[in-house]
Amino acid sequence: MSMESVAERATRPARVSEPFISLAGVQKTYRMGRLDYPALRGVDLEIRAGELVAVVGPSGSGKTTILNLVTGIDRPTAGTVSVGGRRIDLMSEEELAVWRGEHVGVVFQFFQLLPTLSALENAVLPLDFARRGSKRERFGRARRNLALVGLGDKADHLPAELSGGQQQRVAIARALAADPQLIVGDEPTGNLDTVTAAEMFDLFKRLNGEGKTVLYVTHDRDLAGRANRIVSIRDGLLATP
């Protein structure tokens, strides 16, 4: 019997019994000048498919580092990171880029829309990069996603012509471009007023109800409390909320 290669282990489908996201013994140390800064100091975390999970903790506790590891934006110094049964810490940068484009949608605090592109053009960008389908099919999907987030009538507007909440909705439509299994939000409501932030969370809740796994960082305890589960982190270690 031939031994399974590292690449085969990294890309094999998940077993039903496996968690969708698994961090095992994860450490992450950043080099800052002559000093080492331990952002994570041995984190074990499992998240099941279809969960809605909030990550909370003080500034500098390691919240965003967890998101960066789960999305493959960063790599652990030690330990393993698996998503959907795949060891993403073993993937090359090229493999990660393809995997992320197909399976992960990321929503940032400051929207990160391209100011010279319309809402529709921003929403279609991930599909353009992946060259998925024909141009007509890509724009059709982007229009459907804008309609899903309540901006079907704003497709031709530039970001400057939209409110903060509307810009964040465009960012969510962009994150949905490839119909990803995982939606990740890094303080996705942090730049919004309370009412608009609640509307954004309701949209996340709806996406979760459709079967997507949603993982988000927030400083807002009220919004965190509306998640199915809260993961609290302090000084690079998981803590009791």
The amino acid occupying position 184 is: V
Task: Give the distance, in angstroms, between the CA of residue 194 and the centroid of all CA atoms in the same chain.
Answer: 22
- Dihedral (CA of 84, 88, 92, 97) sign: positive
* Strand ranges inside the chain, DSSP E: 21-32, 35-47, 52-56, 78-83, 86-87, 104-108, 182-186, 213-217, 229-234, 237-239
Res. 123 pLDDT band, cuts 50 70 90:
very high
Which residues make beta-bridge pairs with 108? 186
Cα–Cα distance list, 30 to 3, 37, 48, 62, 217 (Å): 35, 5, 29, 11, 20
**Residue 156, exposed/middle/buried by CB under 10 A (0-12, 13-18, 19+)?**
exposed
Q: What is the pLDDT of residues 134-168, one digit of tens each?
A: 889 999 999 999 998 999 999 999 999 999 889 98
Q: Where are the domains of the chain?
A: 52-73+91-239
Which residue do the tokens 């998503």 mark?
A: 83
Residue 134: the pLDDT is 85
Give the separation between CA 69 and CA 235, rounded to whole angstroms. 17
The amino acid occupying position 133 is: G
Element holding 171 (H helix, E strand): helix 164-175
Under CATH, which architecture does the 52-73+91-239 domain have? 3-Layer(aba) Sandwich (3.40)
Q: What is the pLDDT of residues 51-68, one digit of tens each?
A: 999 999 998 899 999 999
Q: Record the tokens describing residue 89, joined without a space.
A: 């810490």
* Predicted TM-score (pTM) of this structure: 0.86
Better-scored residue on pLDDT, 167 or 191: 167
Residue 101: the pLDDT is 87
Torsion of Cα atoms, 93 then 99 then 101 then 106, to 10°: -90
Q: What is the pLDDT of residues 13-46, one digit of tens each?
A: 444 568 999 999 999 999 888 899 999 999 999 9
Q: Would you say 114 and 129 are in contact if contact means Cβ atoms under 8 Å apart?
A: no
